[in-house]
Amino acid sequence: MRVVILISGRGSNMRALLESDLASSASVEFVCVISNKADAAGLQIAAAHGVPTEVLEHRAFPDRASFDMALAARIDAYQADVVILAGFMRVLTEVFVRHYENRLINVHPALLPAFPGLDTHARAIAAGVKLHGCTVHFVTPEVDAGPIIAQAAVPVLADDTPQSLAARVLRQEHRIFPLVVGWLARGWVKVRANGTVALIQDRSIDADAALISPSAPSAN
């Protein structure tokens, strides 16, 4: 499975992918990392891992549509099977998203459909939720609304700040993003007709498992 990764900044999720077992897998090849910003720190990380890099500055284009068209041309030149948004800070046009339908994935720092958009950690704390987390999903024209592939949850602690909660969620992003890419490479991910995702070789889910937060106070 040929994979192109799109970044805009430090590329921490990209790093997690490149440092995972996927990088040595015969079934996954990271063929290029493309950034819309020349100063993105993730470009140096990708190069250090031996992955080709490109810069396509969005400011060089008159509008979003023309940039997306040029970006798609660069991705297609690598014959990418899957395109990964790893901190790519651009809202993509519908034409671009449709071109990569069910091949374009993103990780969002919330348990979708809760808290789409920005400032998810502050919003979760303000709402008083007891569980927060991250979601890997297929990208659709509606932002943060695509079919959910996998989620990871963490407890929201009484003294959490947006920064402390974000750090804990980010660790889970680094865990589940490589897992999902591996599932895609194995052909385990199927989008149902109703727009939800099934794992066709789903074999280790405990139907009674639960993460409860907060835990009940001790009787002692």
Cα gap 51→95, rounded to integer Å? 27
Query: What sign for the dihedral angle of Cα 186, 176, 105, 62?
Result: negative
Catalytic annotation, pick one of 108, 132, 137, 174: 108
Distance CA 79, CA 1 (A): 10
Give yes or no: 137 in active site. no
Sheet strands (E) in the chain: 2-7, 29-35, 53-55, 82-85, 104-108, 131-138, 148-155, 189-191, 197-199
Which residues are tagged catalytic? Answer: 108
